[in-house]
Amino acid sequence: MAARLRTMLPNAESQRVWISTFHRLCGRLLRDHGTAIDVPADFRIVEGAERIGVMRQCMFDANVDIRIHKPQALLHRISTLKNRMRTPADPDEWEDDGYAERNARLAAAYQAALAGQGGLDFDDMLLGAVRLLHESPDARRAAGDRFPRVLVDEYQDTNLPQYVLVRQIAEGRDDVFVVGDPDQAIYGWRGAELQNILDFHHDFPKARRIDLQLAYRSTARLLEAAGAMIRSNGKRLDHTLRCANPAGQPPAVRHVADATAEAGFAVERAAARIRQDGGEVAVLYRTNAQSGSLENAFRRAGIRYRITGGESFYSRPEILDALCCLQAAADPDDDEAMHRFVELPPHPRTGRKTCALIDSMPGRSFRERVERATHGRTLSTYHATNLRRRLELAATLHEATRRLPLDELVDEALDCTGYRRAAAEAADGDAEDRLDNLAELAYDASVFARDDGGTTDTPDGRRRLLAAFLEHCRAMRTPERDDGTVRVTLSTLHGAKGLEFDTVVITGFDAEHLPHRRTVAAAADANAAIEEERRLAYVGMTRARTELCLSVPAVTGHGAKQRPTAPSPFLDEIPENLRTTVTPAGAHAEPSADVTMGPLGPERSL
């Protein structure tokens, strides 16, 4: 944006225009005038890993187990409260989940720790600037003089502090120009207020509305289908889009048996598009847990991909923990795996001093050193007892590798260690997502075993399969080489906003994922949550330039949690004349291996 402005205006004039994020603007205001509210001009911005470290220390001081209660999750909830101009240190602002008092104390300790080092996080910068302009007439006057006109992009994504800041700077002049699309407001979960753009004419009664009606990205039929769906929303500004492109093909709806078949279909469409014209392809999904099957399918097919809007399924903390259990079962003398294994929740933390004592003991492996330490007087009875239990668990799992099929071994490792229970009991809002990821890992193990082709009905065969699966998971964590020729992007729907692709495949277009069942169930306003989910589907659909595929699985979940699901209700909002339906034979039969796409082979790598 800044580069384009410099080509349109003389240098002196372009330098008078300040193009900035809200946070950068607030930082400048606070450095120039913040002493009026006791914010030092040399305040530090605390972000990323440092911010997590501050909360981690606060939780450690409060004896909160960070293996179960994640600092990142608590920081997200604190940030959401700040973005709504609430007070995180007030227990009444927290949901009544049994942890409100504790969370409020941690929020207060976190703020005190930041203040103690002269630091502000990004949310504090917004709130600090709002407070500054409210309490300091000099700062408010200086901001108004410096910015006689205010332009805001993506106004539908602004939160309450940002909205207040715009009103403060424009006070008395109301010279405000905003750009936004209410149909693409998808960040309510992190504090964005859709009402900011819907109420713009109420806030500025003399405002003039300019509709940008000509769309340049998608073909006409794709735009018509997405438009028909989004018109079911009540909270929106009605407008009609015209398309500058040819009519094109309508969205294709594909009914498939299960997640494996769905991944095969995504590979099939991506391969076809790349071979056709080398076009860019996106495979989109609502939740991170859905990416595991897709990553496996594209790796098997030899099609390189990049991941945006999240991390690889195999790099998520709970997956690394589960794989650590399996590695400890496969080889109890693996030092790295056993170090992590004895620290997994719900096992009490060993502590640095205890670990140092163990490492100082003689022995070829960590397991041997632990055995020596627990049978002598090196450790306290408490630590010795707990560590012995972990060694016994590792030995039990090692024996189980001889007799259990791979997917059952995954479940056994998660259950007998208590890890699955600990993941379920975490009060950070992400417990269900972690459980979904663990179930996906067990499912991936069953698919891997099915496709392995080797003998697995003997103890040696089962252990060989386990070793192969662990090696496969290590390989999946290795990032794909992206030299600019990668044509496939795997992304969450949220992560795809602002991007565009020739072909888009939206997976999980079912009643479980779109609208996302748990999100709607947990929302204070279910209808508002459904409307945001519809907007999310709309954003995904309008990422496509020429081809859009909606994949509808017949079942969701894996193993014992597998259950039938219906197509997304959003699908019924797209008239039949605006979509085509492709239903392969057997799509609604029992999930089957023969619907997956076979490997393309290295010589056909795309």
**Positive or negative CA dihedral for 331, 336, 337, 339?**
positive
pLDDT tens string 295-306: 999 999 999 999
Total residue count of the chain as it appears in this document:
606
Residue with tokens 């005038």: 33
Span 57-86, average pLDDT:
91
**Residue 133 contacts residue 29 (beta carbons within 8 Å):** yes
Q: What is the pLDDT of residue 30?
A: 96
Question: Which residues have C-beta within 8 Å of that of residue 299, sequence separation ≥ 6?
Answer: 475, 476
Pick the CATH number of 252-311+481-604 from 3.40.50.300, 3.60.110.10, 3.40.50.150, 1.10.10.10: 3.40.50.300
Residue with tokens 């969701």: 556
**Residue 156 contacts residue 180 (beta carbons within 8 Å):** yes
Q: SS3 of 547, please?
A: strand
CA 375 – CA 341 distance, rounded (Å): 19
Q: What percent of the chain has pLDDT over 70?
A: 94
CA 329 – CA 390 distance, rounded (Å): 11
CA angle (318 as vertex; 313, 319 as ends), nearest 5 = 45
Q: SS3 of 400, please?
A: helix
**Positive or negative CA dihedral for 166, 167, 168, 173?**
positive
Cross-strand partners of 555:
564
Nearest one of 333, 292, 297 to 313, comparing CA atoms: 292
Residue with tokens 């991390």: 311
pLDDT tens string 12-42: 676 778 888 999 999 999 999 999 999 999 9
Does pLDDT of 422 surpass 90?
Answer: no
Nearest one of 517, 489, 516 to 505, comparing CA atoms: 489
CA 319 – CA 293 distance, rounded (Å): 14
Residue with tokens 């417990």: 431
pLDDT tens string 73-94: 899 999 999 999 999 999 999 9
Question: What are the extents of the domains in the chain?
Answer: 252-311+481-604, 315-477
pLDDT tens string 301-334: 999 999 987 788 999 989 999 999 999 999 998 9
Q: What is the pLDDT of residue 410?
A: 94
Q: SS3 of 45, please?
A: strand
Question: Which residues have C-beta within 8 Å of that of residue 39, sequence separation ≥ 6?
Answer: 30, 120, 128, 132
Indicate the Cα dihedral angle 318, 323, 325, 329, nearest 10°. 170
- May I ask the CATH class of domain 315-477? mainly alpha
